[in-house]
Amino acid sequence: MRPMQLERLLHAQGFGSRKECRALIRSGHVSVAGEPCEDPFAEFDPGSSDGSPGIAFSVGDEQWRFRAQAYVVLHKPTGYECSQKPTFHPSVFTLLPPQLLIRGVQCVGRLDQDTTGLLLLSDDGQFIHQWSSGKKRTPKVYEVTLKHAVEQEFADRMVAGVELHDEPEPIAAAACELTSPTTLRLTICEGKYHQVKRMVGAAGNRVETLHRSRVGGLDLPAELAPGQWRWLETADLQRLADFT
Ligand code: URA
């Protein structure tokens, strides 16, 4: 990437309008690579043209690395909606720092308010489209707790396929493992509305809790507590795509 004026660099990273970023820099709150800089037009090599971490800078107490594109993973807690304008619960966007919101990150697909687990967000429109489209048939793994105990036959039924209202063909899980009499590890490759709950309901049971543990080849990072997020690094993005 070509050198960038500091004012533009901060603006691109979600620190406000160009004017606001200029004022921040002039007020002495910004350092780049450890050196204070009060010149909004000083030029720096951002050091990243994708989601990888580039040049380090700080704004007040906040330490940042330039990233041309934002790719993040959030451990979604229960009781949050994946909408910008939620109806009954707070939005998952309240769990992210303002810089990511200003950059316009959006959810890659949606989880229900009471579903927990792996949620991807990005400001890269192509990435969002690619990973939320059913066409790619990305496997998504859900840990399901059932209301009623079942036997192996129930898991076999999920894989054989069940009839859902408004779906012309039966919908089948790509895999389903009975992990206890009341828990399943269910893999689906579509992303239909309430798909897991509807599939379980169609087979005469009910989902009590639902947790997404994996998307593509990417597991929910074990270090992320509910409500926490982190950047997706190059190795994570490779893992995500590596599911064949
Ligand atoms: N299936 C559901 O029913 N809900 C989700 O949140 C995700 C998959």
For the segment 170-216, what is each residue's pLDDT rounded down to a tens digit?
999 999 999 999 999 999 999 899 999 999 999 999 999 999 999 99
Which candidate in 112, 114, 123, 242 is catalytic? 112
pTM for this predicted structure: 0.94
Residue 84 near residue 121 (C-beta atoms within 8 A): no
> For residue 134, what pLDDT band results from cuts at 50, 70 and 90?
confident
Residue 73 near residue 120 (C-beta atoms within 8 A): yes
Sheet holding 30-32, edge to edge: 35-36, 30-32, 56-59, 62-65
Q: What is the CATH number of domain 139-215?
A: 3.30.70.1560
> Is 112 in the active site?
yes
What are the DSSP E strand ranges found in 66-206?
Answer: 71-76, 106-107, 115-122, 140-146, 175-180, 183-188
Ordered DSSP codes for 29-62: -EEETTEE---TT-EE----SSSS--SEEEETTE
pLDDT attached to residue 100: 97
Q: Is the CB of 177 under 6 A from ligand 1?
A: no
CB atoms within 10 A of CB 4: 19
How high does pLDDT run on average in the chain?
A: 96
Residues of the chain with CATH 3.30.70.580: 71-135+223-241
Q: Is the CB of 199 under 6 A from ligand 1?
A: no
Q: Which atom of ligand 1 is nearest to the CA of 112?
A: 6
Residues of the chain with CATH 3.10.290.10: 4-65
Q: Which atom of ligand 1 is nearest to the CA of 198?
A: 3
Closest Cα to atom 4, ligand 1: which residue? 194
Percent of the chain with pLDDT over 90: 94
The H or E element spanning position 155 is helix 152-160
Q: Parallel, antiparallel, or unpaired for β 183-188 and 140-146? A: antiparallel
Q: Which atom of ligand 1 is nearest to the CA of 114?
A: 6
CATH class of the domain comprising 4-65 = alpha beta
> For residue 1, what pLDDT band results from cuts at 50, 70 and 90?
confident
pLDDT attached to residue 40: 97
Q: What is the CATH number of domain 71-135+223-241?
A: 3.30.70.580
Q: Is the CB of 196 under 6 A from ligand 1?
A: yes
